[in-house]
Amino acid sequence: MSDYSRNNLPEESIEETRRKKMEEFRRSADRSAIRGEYDYSGDTPSADYTSYEKHSAEESSQRRRRRNREINSYSDSDTKKRIERDSKKALKQQKKEEKQIEKSKAKRNRRIFKVVWLSMILIVAIVLSQFLLVGVNDLMAINREKNPTKVTIHIPADPTMDQIADILYKSNVITQPGFFKMYANFTSDVNGFRQGDFEIETDKDYEAIINFLQSNVNRTDIAKVQITEGMNTLEIANTLHEATVISDIQEFLNLCNSDYFDKDFTFLQDISNAGDRYYKLEGYLFPDTYDFYVGEDPKSVISKFLNNYENKIVLHKEKYFSNSKKSTLEDEAKSTGYTVDEILTIASIIQAEAASRDDMYYISSILNNRLKYGSDKGVAMLNCDCTVYYPYRKASDVPDSIKATFHSTYNTHDFNGLPPGPICNPGIEAIKAAIKPYETEYLYFCHDSVDNGSTPYYSTNIYDHEYFLSIISKDD
């Protein structure tokens, strides 16, 4: 057989050709395995494909398929770690971006807030400056100096600052009530404002307005009241009420029976039997003509009475009697052997009984004789009719609610000596008569009717006294 076979190719060439085809087949099989195109159920490609090579090719193909599955899977640890790192990195980046967005928003909001805040401050500053400018002008009365006028205003009792500001505003005394209230609250006390009528100029600054309204001196609602000699406390209270000086009679009477004024008027501290009296201050409400304010505080009213008493009786020095030096009536009263309160009690009876100045000194003599010698002569009681109904003037003045049972503890027909205190408020002449009575032996007195001139009759004994009484009764 020749060296050439199969198309006259040498045996070596044939073997080489087979080897190349085998190599090409394996490469083709590997590519098909990778792509998953190889069919293991079919026939072998050729008779020359050995079982070993087939097995090797299958293992190689399986390894490639596993690698392909592993490449397309998330189950291996490296892939998981890489994915976790990528996720964390992405989340971190996302948070960073969100933070930058929030920061950007916050920055923008701060700018908006600053703009709004500055705008508000500017608006408030403008409004406040306008308020201050207008308020200060009104405070200083800068805009009210032109064509000033006088206006009358009324401040009510216990006013509030709102009421005062409103009254001043409506009367054109101020133009900024809110600013006035602010100033007044800082600089003064609303309790310092006086009740009453004021005539005030419209060109006053705030300080001048406040000072003006806190002084009673500037009030125009003045009530001139005459308290006559011999008026008792009840009569004085009614007179003051009728003149609209006080609004509450009972409050006035309660104060007249209290110790409220003792600390300011030491002469009241000498009264030792206040509990036995109807009104402690009876006898000390000095009769005179007074200027009171409408609706005045009762404490202020009573203080005026007591101040007048102190000035006339306690402090004022004068030569009251002949052959005496200048002295006060209080000093003269103390020289009698009686207390000042007892002299006032005697003077109050004299004031209530006497028909004239001269009669005062005779009656004073009779009262003194009875007080000193009455027990020896059977006339220890003063028996003065003016004491029977005190604190009332007469029987008709006693309230109906107590008239049937009323009995005065001052009735000198019931006990010896002086009543617990004065029965009215005596004047200077009655006090002088009580201090220095005429020297007589009289123990009784009586008076004719007013129509007959209130003629006095004095007696040293009961017989003459009864005779004079009979004459008077015939004339009636």
Q: Mean pLDDT throughout 333-343?
A: 97
Weakest-pLDDT range from 96-100, 189-193, 417-421, 455-459: 96-100
Q: How far apart are CA 278 and CA 301, in angstroms?
A: 19
State what percent of residues in the chain have pLDDT above 70.
79
- C-beta atoms surrounding 235 within 10 Å: 18
pLDDT band, residue 102 (cuts 50/70/90): confident
- CATH homologous superfamily for 143-218? Endolytic murein transglycosylase (3.30.1490.480)
**What are the residues facing 10 on neighbouring strands?**
4
pLDDT tens-place string over residues 115-172: 776 777 767 666 655 555 555 666 666 766 667 889 999 999 889 999 999 999 999 8
Answer whether residue 363 shows pLDDT above 90: yes
Q: Are 228 and 424 in contact (CB under 8 A)?
A: no
Peptide bond into 399 cis (omega under 30): no
- Whose tokens are 């029977």? That residue is 388
pLDDT tens-place string over residues 432-458: 999 999 999 999 999 999 888 899 999
Q: How far apart are CA 476 and CA 429, in angstroms?
A: 30
Say what the pLDDT of residue 49 is. 47
- C-beta atoms surrounding 401 within 10 Å: 8
Q: What are phi and psi of 444, to 5 degrees?
A: -135, 155
pTM for this entry: 0.68
Burial class (CB in 10 A: 0-12, 13-18, 19+), 390: buried
How high does pLDDT run on average in the chain? 85
Say what the pLDDT of residue 257 is. 97
Say what the pLDDT of residue 250 is. 97
pLDDT tens-place string over residues 202-238: 888 889 999 999 988 899 999 999 999 999 999 999 9
**CA–CA distances in Å: residue 153 to residues 150, 162, 182, 212, 378:** 10, 15, 21, 12, 66
pLDDT band, residue 403 (cuts 50/70/90): very high
pLDDT tens-place string over residues 451-463: 888 999 999 999 9
State what percent of residues in the chain have pLDDT above 90.
56
Q: Are 238 and 249 in contact (CB under 8 A)?
A: yes
Q: How far apart are CA 172 and CA 419, in angstroms?
A: 59
Q: How far apart are CA 398 and CA 290, in angstroms?
A: 28
Answer with the residue of higher pLDDT: 126 or 379: 379
**Pairing status of strand 4-5 against strand 9-10:** antiparallel
Residue ranges covered by each domain of the chain: 4-71, 79-139, 143-218, 329-475
Answer whether residue 329 shows pLDDT above 80: yes
Q: How far apart are CA 432 and CA 23, in angstroms?
A: 166
**What are the residues facing 196 on neighbouring strands?**
155
Q: How far apart are CA 300 and CA 44, in angstroms?
A: 140
Q: How far apart are CA 473 and CA 447, in angstroms?
A: 11
Q: Are 168 and 202 in contact (CB under 8 A)?
A: no
Q: Mean pLDDT throughout 306-331?
A: 95
Answer whether residue 310 shows pLDDT above 60: yes
